[in-house]
Chains A and B, each alone.
Chain A
């Protein structure tokens, strides 16, 4: 083990922090653009069907934010295609024969499609017929979703690898259908797509509530607000159901992750659901735990006295506290989403308007989808450690030999840049919202 002092420059730790920072920053933007593409299509189809100006105005406002979000997703995504090689050369060396084709299919079937038709969708409204423009919108939304599909296929395969054989330390595919439809893929994919839907729902609702509270009364604001609120209210119960099924799937394939999520150190029957605790790796127990008896067993095994394996059973297990807390952040935000979206939906029923208090709640929740999504990804990615590909390749065996100093200096550069871009993005979103109320000042 390295002493603490050199731990800071340990290339593996730094490579992980750098990759995590990049992928965390990247995922914020696809999370919005995947579902936003469909939301824009919805606005466009409503306009095509009703001819009401408010739907076209809603499209016009949100397409600006979509373009900005998309650009950020593209440029931060390019970073990933380089860092697979620079930070994790061992990954491609060991499982490149499987990861490679999946990534290639993502670039070929999705990236070009969305990027090319985005140009037509954004700037071609007067250059092509309305039908072609609608088609371009469909292709952009479809492209973002297809890209999510391929990358989730790869990630879920890393969680539950099947359909391959190892020859001389390299994975060779034996069954592509098994690889694509691996056991955890449907859960990962649906969980992520609904997460994207929720993120966009709260973005629509939050920004529209902001505009409403600023006194803007454009009909498109209420249309966006209602779309956001009712979408959120409908998706959140679905997401809770999918999350529960996902957990049961994980228990079957990665019991150590579940033990970390629930903070169960030693195998027990009738395990409690721990609401709050400070997991203590030294004593292998939870400090200051607040728990509901038997509930974890009930949720995961559908049996009050079901047995759940503890962390101590696994030689290789993830760091408990990080997984435990990321999970609680995700679920906590999810519960808030349920509460706020149903409250807002209740107020909006039958054509009524929102109270200022609920408007403020929605504004506060504008980017709540980001928090839940990132926390969820931390659960699933940190929960897979110390494996990079579960049971096949350890993270430490995939790291590169780039010097720690080099990684540290580029890491600082990336973090500074990302902080700057994040602040710029959020302030521009609200600035556009404010400016939309003063059409005279629009360019």
Chain B
């Protein structure tokens, strides 16, 4: 049987892992939702807009719950870090919440409000999605620099914000590519191509800027033997970007001939890139929760509180994953018209 000391060591590690998993699930799942919201502005036809939203309608609510779980885990498993991090991120958090609220209510208002109000809600859907995305990027940028003051650090945070918007747009376009047909599918390919280049540029900029801004990250990644061991991470990212860049024109060609096999490649490859980015981020930060200030063990709740949550999570999380898969199975394939009938 594990002693209390072991539990005090392992439980925070497990909960940090769970937190990373929920944040990853959130970024991928709400990432495509928010990406579709950002792309909504590029589509002028109302009927096509309806189709775009129909592709995310049954999922967005549960997708957003992963954020509640991720932040909830930070709150309940690492209360000290929750206070420090979210107090430091007070303004971007408030703006993100504003964005998420506008986006979330626009789902319903855009179809239920009076006809002449509907364009306003479509616009708010886009504004909310973009605001939430950029704010999340800014939060990440502020977090990576350990909330450093000064214009340089804020400029970096804003850069991450724009990068995340490109990444989400790429996810969203990849999602639409899988869930749509015809004209919308063609447009999704164009959007994917556009956001791909911004995403590549942004990834390069962030990858260069992060070690430049943080000597600690520089030392971690560019010391021997790490520099060799970690080489596969940027390499695989580059390969995945190349795969998307290679696949898109070919998908466009096939799509014109009514064949959309392999339409899942851009989305899946983008998820792979997000996964690699997560690995890079976690590798740079672990075991800190607040960089250079607080480790996961210093910030953790008491072992007995973590243990009772762990028991619950061990039973409930697999169930959640099970019925989430079921829900994706029910709405598998091309998205139809969104209707309560």
Q: How far is the CB of B337 from chain A (nearest CB, A)?
A: 10
State in angstroms the CA–CA spacing of A107 and B62 once bound together: 11
Contact A172 B330 (CB under 8 A): no
Interface residues of A in 123-172 (CB under 8 A from B): 123-128, 170, 172
Binding site secondary structure of chain B? helix
Query: Are A443 and B111 closer than 8 Å at their CB atoms?
Result: yes
**Binary flags per residue of A396-417, CB closer than 8 Å to B gives 1, else 0:** 0000111000100010011001
Q: Is the CB of A104 within 8 A of B72?
A: yes
User: B327 touching A86 by the CB < 8 A rule?
Assistant: no
List residues of chain B with CB within 8 A of the CB of A84.
75, 82
Number of A interface residues in the complex (CB < 8 A) = 68
For residue B338, which residues in chain A have a CB less than 8 angstroms away from its CB?
A: 123
Q: How far is the CB of B2 from chain A (nearest CB, A)?
A: 19
Instruction: Give every chain B residue within 8 A of A120 (Cβ-Cβ).
Output: 58, 327, 330
| Cβ-defined contact, B87 with A401, below 8 A | yes
Alpha-carbon distance between A126 and B337 when the two chains are bound, in angstroms = 12
Cα(A172)–Cα(B323), bound, Å: 34
- Residues B330 and A79 in contact, CB atoms below 8 Å apart: no
Central interface residue in B80, B301, B312, by most chain A CB within 10 Å: B301
The proximity string for B residues 98-109 relative to A, scoring 1 for CB distances below 8 Å and 0 otherwise, is: 101111110111
B86 touches A82 (CB 8 A): yes
Q: B65 contacts which of A70, A112, A127, A128 (Cβ < 8 Å)? A: A112
CB of A92 closer than 8 Å to a CB of B: yes
Say yes or no: A413-B341 contact (C-beta < 8 A), given A75-B101, A79-B101: no
B75 in contact with A85 (CB, 8 Å): yes
User: Which residues does chain A contribute within 8 Å of B68, judged by CB atoms?
Assistant: 77-78, 81, 107, 111
- Total count of chain B residues near the partner, CB < 8 A: 63
Q: Which of B292-341 contact A (CB under 8 A)?
A: 301-302, 304-305, 308-309, 312-313, 316-317, 320, 323-324, 327, 330-331, 338-341
**Chain A CB within 8 A of B219 CB:** no
Partner of A173, one of B77, B94, B304: B304
| Docked pose: A77 CA to B75 CA in angstroms | 15
Instruction: Say which residue of B57, B69, B71 sits within 8 Å of A123 (CB atoms).
Output: B57
Are A79 and B65 interface neighbours, CB within 8 A? no
Q: Which B19-67 residues have C-beta < 8 A from chain A? A: 57-59, 61-62, 64-65, 67
Cβ contacts under 8 Å, A417 to chain B: 98, 101-102
Cross-chain contact of B87 among A86, A101, A107, A125 (Cβ < 8 A): A86
Check A115 against B79 for contact (C-beta < 8 Å): no
B86 CB to nearest chain A CB (Å): 4
B49 to chain A, nearest CB (A): 13
A85/B76 in contact, CB under 8 A: no
Does A347 make an interface contact (CB < 8 A)?
Answer: no
B134: interface (CB < 8 Å): no
B48 → A minimal CB distance (Å): 15
Residue of B whose beta carbon sits closest to that of A176: B308
The verdict on B113 contacting chain A, using a C-beta distance below 8 Å, is: yes
Q: A81-B75, A99-B76 are in contact. Are A104 and B86 (CB under 8 A)?
A: no
A112 & B75 in contact (Cβ 8 Å cutoff): no
Which residue of chain A has its CB nearest to the CB of B320? Answer: A112
B97, B313, B340: the one within 8 Å of A104 (CB)? B313
A60 CA / B341 CA spacing, docked (Å): 8
Is B91 on the interface with A (CB-CB < 8 A)?
yes
Q: Does A259 contact B (CB under 8 A)?
A: no
Residue B324 contacts which of A116, A123, A443 (CB distance < 8 angstroms)?
A: A116
A314 in the interface, Cβ–Cβ < 8 Å?
no
| Cβ B69 vs Cβ A108 within 8 A | yes
**Beta-carbon nearest neighbor of B77 in chain A:** A100
Interface residues of A in 201-255 (CB under 8 A from B): none
Asked whether A82 lies within 8 Å of B71 as measured between CB atoms, the reply is yes
User: In this complex, what residue of B is CB-closest to A102?
Assistant: B76
Q: For the complex, is A118 an interface residue (Cβ under 8 Å from B)?
A: yes
Residue B254 interfacial (CB < 8 Å)? no
Give A288 Cβ to nearest chain B Cβ, in Å.
43
A336 to B227, CA, bound (A): 74
* Interface hit among A61-69, A269-277, A349-357: A61-69
Known contacts A104-B77, A108-B320, A414-B94; 20 additional CB pairs below 8 A are A60-B341, A68-B108, A71-B61, A74-B61, A78-B67, A92-B76, A97-B305, A101-B308, A111-B68, A112-B320, A115-B64, A117-B323, A119-B58, A119-B61, A125-B340, A172-B304, A401-B87, A410-B94, A428-B113, A431-B112
A and B contact pairs by CB, cutoff 8 A, 29 listed: A68-B109, A72-B105, A74-B104, A75-B100, A81-B72, A82-B97, A85-B85, A86-B93, A89-B83, A93-B83, A97-B302, A100-B77, A104-B77, A108-B69, A108-B312, A108-B317, A108-B320, A111-B69, A112-B320, A116-B61, A118-B61, A119-B58, A122-B57, A123-B339, A170-B302, A402-B90, A406-B91, A421-B105, A428-B112
